[in-house]
Amino acid sequence: MKILIVQDYLRSGGTERQSVFMASAFAKAGHEVTLLTFRPRGVLELDGAQQPFAFRSLQPFDTRLDWFAPGLLRAAEEAGPDLVLCMGRMANCYAGFIQGRLPGAAVVCTMRTGKLLPYLFVRSLRRCRHVVANSHVAKRVLTDVYDIPAHRVTVIHNPVLRFTDESAARNVTLRRYHGASQSTVVLLNVAMFRPEKNQRELIEICARLPGYLDWQLWLAGEGPARKKCERLAHDLGLGTRVKFLGYQSDPSPLYLAADLALLASQSESLSNFLIEAQLHGLPAVAYDIVGVGECFVPERSGLLTANRDQTAFLAALDRLIREPALRKRFAEHARRHAQAHFVPERQVQAHLTLFRELTRAAGGPRTARHEG
């Protein structure tokens, strides 16, 4: 099967990492895979000598124009795919045009966001062959809000991409480096600093914790909202309690050093950060938006609060900081839950099974049709 994956830009977000991972996994499973991006560079640099898939960008140099996709339809046609998987907001907006240019291919949109969808995205959802949603709540949004027939939507959760074996020792060295003692409860959030990721609210909530509690908030990531968050932490007098750790190509050491995972994001369909945190044994405290409640088991591996209810979030956080035995019990269940539901092999196989069904419905892979 020839698979074309279309992605906007290889920055550090979860969708971009998923694109690179799936391109590699599909290629290793014996399929001919091309990863096509609009912009040529990003944090996720590719190693041409090591990657098992072909890579191509539409812009000859980085124009910094996210929506600029010169020659997209021509490039898709030249790739001759049996199936096109569109990842990212902009790629999905172009999916309807790709399906129109390649009527014999199965174009698959993806629903991986909690944000409102623009007109072109919705148009693509209605024109493409199928949609993969990464949470059951996202599927309900597609069917109830955007009138996409349920039989055209398949739910496949995100796989865990970054994992250090649970037998690994707790990262005491990293805790010491940041001034966290054995008793300090380290609160962690890993995400790009964009307004919708809402690190600002995490800082505001933590500022309301009783002053005698021993905690630190670690914020890993880069982005346009970071400077405002740094100023907020300073203005609230949090001093060294809030650590801005920058972009982490592999945040696994942070998971091993932390005690709790916090999420106040307003844009998640399914949070890669929370899934990774659960697999590393971090209980979660999170706002209930879209599919966040599918990342962990509320009251068994984390606490879910009503969206934007800072008082409830604060109470949940305060409870887990004060009760180490509860954190330990939640941590054990978190690992079991993540291992049962988010392992990469299961998710890759789910995609390939769906792809085979879609290409058979379209007349089979092109190579098979040519043989006939």
**Residue-level pLDDT, tens digit, the chain, 372 residues:** 999 999 988 876 778 888 988 999 999 999 999 999 999 877 666 665 678 999 999 999 989 888 899 999 999 999 999 999 999 899 999 999 999 999 999 999 999 887 889 999 999 999 999 999 998 989 999 999 999 999 999 999 988 776 555 445 568 899 999 999 999 999 999 999 999 999 999 999 999 999 999 999 999 999 999 999 999 999 999 989 999 999 998 899 999 999 999 999 998 888 889 999 999 999 999 999 878 999 999 999 999 999 999 999 999 999 999 999 999 999 999 999 998 888 888 889 999 999 999 999 877 665 444 333
CA distances in angstroms from 359 to 59, 76, 99, 107, 339, listed in the order given: 30, 17, 14, 10, 30
Give the model's pLDDT for residue 282: 96
Q: 2-159+344-365: which CATH topology? A: Rossmann fold (3.40.50)
Instruction: Indicate where the chain has its CATH 3.40.50.2000 domain(s).
Output: 2-159+344-365, 172-341
Give the model's pLDDT for residue 70: 95
CA distances in angstroms from 173 to 256, 258, 260, 277, listed in the order given: 11, 12, 18, 19
Q: 172-341: which CATH topology? A: Rossmann fold (3.40.50)
Q: For 284-322, b where at least 16 C-beta lie within 10 A, e where not — what string?
A: bbbbbbbbbbbbbbeeebbbbbebeeeebbbebbbebbe
CA distances in angstroms from 137 to 32, 125, 129, 155, 361, listed in the order given: 32, 16, 21, 9, 27
Per the CB < 8 A criterion, the answer to whether 287 and 189 are in contact is: no
The reported pTM is 0.74
